[in-house]
Amino acid sequence: MLEVKGLSKSFKDLKAVKEVSLELKEGESVGLLGPNGAGKSTTIQMMSTGLIPSSGEVIYNNEDALKNPKQLRRDLGVVPQDIALYEELSAYENLLFFGRLYGLKGKALKTKIDEVLVLVGLSDRKKDRVKNYSGGMKRRINIAASLLHNPKVLIMDEPTVGIDPQSRSYILDLIKQLNKENHMTVLYTSHYMEEVEKLCDRIYIMDHGEVIASGTKQDLQNLMQEEETVWIETLEKNEAFKHALEDDQTITQVIESDQGYKVIAEKREDLLGDLFDYAKAHQMKPTALAIQTPTLEDVFLHLTGRKLRD
């Protein structure tokens, strides 16, 4: 349905996006996962024809969308990372404005506005100025503005940044509904791996302007089939213990957190026993030790050596 091939973008000396290729099939939900500055926003701006790429192609329904962007733009809903609304105007006034931009008018426009307001759960606050909304409400009305023209493809750039857990949950359920019930094709970018895990059928992982891995969640987890993630919960921290783990040739990553240590190591039978021995040798008393299924966070760590939110 929508495909990009070898997409690159340079800003003076900075290569923001390098040879990115990805594809959206009709009705699927695709995640674009990567840390801040990975090039996700630039990629989707080019995909939506809002930014001219330095090189590469954007193909929509077998047509070059860079040469003829009209059809893609008509079928596309874009939810920018920023709140792309007029804060001094009410939600209703904003939706009137954006609806008219898409050629809607009269009763059809008003009906559509009421429909999207119900969808994002803001019907009762439609006359309030956007600037008086909470962060979560702003995000919801930001989504509503991109749904007015019944888009077939919805591209969302980190739509849950900086909002409370309830609003996030509402938005994620809404996206799931749009994808599963309204059959909208969704491209969802985020640096929250749990959101992408929950929403997306396929995932592209980006770092430093490149796609470094792609596939279903299982495909990506399989990248770590030679490795194991072990969680060691401790009451105290010990630098010598951490160094001992890091010095072990079979352990690839040691991540310290408030409650203990996460260790990614090669799969072997005696791994847990060795970890107990390290703890004992450094007078550490682990309160729990557990082997975990690798998360996308672990996959990213495995691929880049960095955490997603570093």
Partner 1 sequence: MLNLLKKDILTISKARSEVLILLVMPFVLIAILGLSLGGLMTGSAEIEPIHLAIVDNTTERDGGMTILTDQGLPDEQATAIIENLKVNRQIMTVIDTLEKEQLLVAEKMTTEAANEALNHADVEGVLTIPDALTTQVLTVMNGGEATESLMLEVIDETTIQSQVLRQIFRRFTSEYNLMMSIQTIKGDTLVVPGDLPLGETKTIETTTEVSAFQYFTIGMAMMFSLYVASSISSNAFIEKKQDVLLRMMLAGEKPVRYLLSKVVSGYVLAVMQLGILFGLSQLLFDTFSDRSSEFWLTIIAVTFVYATVIGALTALLTSLTLMMPTDSVSGIFSGLVVTVFAFLGGSFTPVEQISPFIRTLGNWTPNGAMMTVYLQQIQGYSMTDSMPLLMRILLLSAILFIVAWGLFPKRRFS
Residues interacting with partner 1, by CB under 8 A?
45, 48-50, 52, 70, 73-74, 76, 78, 80-86, 88-89, 93, 97-98, 100-102, 129, 145-146, 149
Give least dist CB 92 to partner 1, A.
12
Q: Which of 5, 35, 297 is nearest to 158 (CA)?
A: 35
Task: Report the relative pairing of strands 227-233 and 210-215 from DSSP bridges.
Answer: unpaired
Cα 88 to Cα 81, 112, 113, 208, 303: the distances in Å are 19, 22, 18, 37, 45
Q: Which of 195, 181, 171 is nearest to 297 (CA)?
A: 195
Q: How far apart are CA 209 and CA 205, in angstroms?
A: 10
Give least dist CB 275 to partner 1, A.
48
Find out whether 191 and 158 touch, Cβ atoms under 8 Å: yes
Closer to partner 1 by Cβ: residue 99 or 209: 99
Give least dist CB 15 to partner 1, A.
19
Closer to partner 1 by Cβ: residue 74 or 183: 74
Give least dist CB 173 to partner 1, A.
24
Q: Which residue shows structure tokens 């995909």?
A: 47
Closer to partner 1 by Cβ: residue 5 or 73: 73
Closer to partner 1 by Cβ: residue 54 or 221: 54
Closer to partner 1 by Cβ: residue 100 or 267: 100
Give least dist CB 97 to partner 1, A.
5
Cα 152 to Cα 27, 59, 73, 75: the distances in Å are 9, 15, 10, 5
Closer to partner 1 by Cβ: residue 14 or 293: 14
Q: How far apart are CA 58 and CA 190, in angstroms?
A: 21
Find out whether 232 and 263 touch, Cβ atoms under 8 Å: yes
Give least dist CB 169 to partner 1, A.
25
Closer to partner 1 by Cβ: residue 101 or 118: 101
Give least dist CB 190 to partner 1, A.
17
DSSP H helical ranges for 156-270:
165-180, 193-199, 217-222, 239-247
